[in-house]
């Protein structure tokens, strides 16, 4: 029987593209919000001291420069890190296959030790290892997961991961700057930007909850708290430097 695993995951377990790339979306979105709000908060903090005055163009110039530069850096960084993880995985897996072929008893003992540590009784463990020994690829996959804690990156696409990071960073990072596209750079605009920033963090927390359906309060509070701490730090630095 042929099973379409991707269709099965989506229809039975609700595991779709959102869940698959949730890490990139949350990581890129949170970083985008914090990065651009740091620019806005830094300017506002300096202005609050009455020493430095900045116009709307200055806020937008620095904000958009940071937004696109950091989005590109984050996207390419995700691409490179994903590629590196794939290279490490396949290198170690090749070593495992070699070990299985050349030192079968040692690898058998390793599997038995892992199963014993997880509470599998001796009889079941022995039968399980017998099956694995007849299927070296499956045995290698088992060792990669339980000995090294590495997941198979076969379905992981570094290019797609980088794209998700890039566009998530841009989409969420634009929110703190949006008020300055419509209003002059004065204290009231900063308050609007602050509200928009926390609304974006709230939306990101809701997205986490929607994808996981776990702990709504925790998803929201963690996301808003992390972003809020970064916002306070950025504003405080602006006050210190401006003063």
The pLDDT tens digits for 66-107 are 899 999 999 999 899 989 989 999 999 999 999 999 999 999
Report residue 162 as tokens: 């980088």
Q: Is residue 3 part of a domain?
A: no
Q: Is residue 8 part of a domain?
A: no
Say what the pTM is.
0.76
Q: Is residue 114 part of a domain?
A: yes
Q: Is residue 22 part of a domain?
A: yes
Q: Is residue 2 part of a domain?
A: no
User: H or E stretch including 29?
Assistant: helix 22-48
Domain of residue 136, residue span: 14-242
Q: Is residue 6 part of a domain?
A: no
Residues 215, 217, 221, 222, Cα dihedral to 10°? 0
* Sign of CA pseudo-dihedral 222, 227, 228, 232: positive
Query: For the chain, what is the mean pLDDT?
Result: 82
Looking at residue 231, its pLDDT comes to 73
Q: Is residue 4 part of a domain?
A: no
Q: Is 231 exposed, middle or buried (0-12, 13-18, 19+ CB in 10 A)?
A: buried
Number of domains in the chain: 1
Question: pLDDT band for position 240 (50/70/90)?
Answer: confident
Looking at residue 34, its pLDDT comes to 84
Q: Is residue 25 part of a domain?
A: yes
């Amino acid at each position: 029987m042929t099973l379409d695993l991707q269709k099965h995951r989506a229809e039975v377990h609700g595991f779709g593209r959102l869940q698959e790339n949730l890490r990139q979306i949350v990581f890129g979105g949170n970083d985008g919000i914090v990065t651009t709000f740091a620019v806005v908060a830094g300017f506002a903090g300096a202005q609050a001291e009455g020493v430095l005055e900045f116009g709307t163009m200055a806020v937008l110039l620095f904000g958009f420069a940071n937004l696109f530069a950091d989005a590109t850096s984050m996207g390419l960084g995700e691409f490179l890190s994903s590629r590196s993880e794939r290279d490490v995985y396949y290198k170690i897996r090749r070593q495992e296959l070699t070990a299985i072929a050349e030192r079968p008893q040692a690898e058998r003992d390793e599997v038995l030790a892992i199963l014993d540590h997880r509470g599998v009784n001796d009889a079941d463990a022995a039968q399980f290892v017998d099956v694995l020994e007849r299927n070296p690829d499956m045995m290698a996959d088992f060792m990669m997961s339980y000995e090294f804690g590495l997941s198979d990156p076969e379905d992981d696409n570094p290019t797609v991961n980088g794209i998700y990071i890039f566009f998530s960073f841009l989409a969420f990072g634009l929110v703190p700057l949006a008020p300055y596209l419509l209003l002059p750079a004065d204290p009231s605009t900063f308050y609007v930007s602050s509200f928009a920033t926390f609304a974006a963090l709230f939306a990101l927390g809701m997205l986490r909850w929607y994808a996981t359906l776990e702990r709504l309060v925790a998803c929201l509070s963690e996301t808003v708290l992390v972003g809020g701490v970064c916002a306070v730090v950025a504003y405080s630095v602006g006050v210190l430097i401006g003063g």
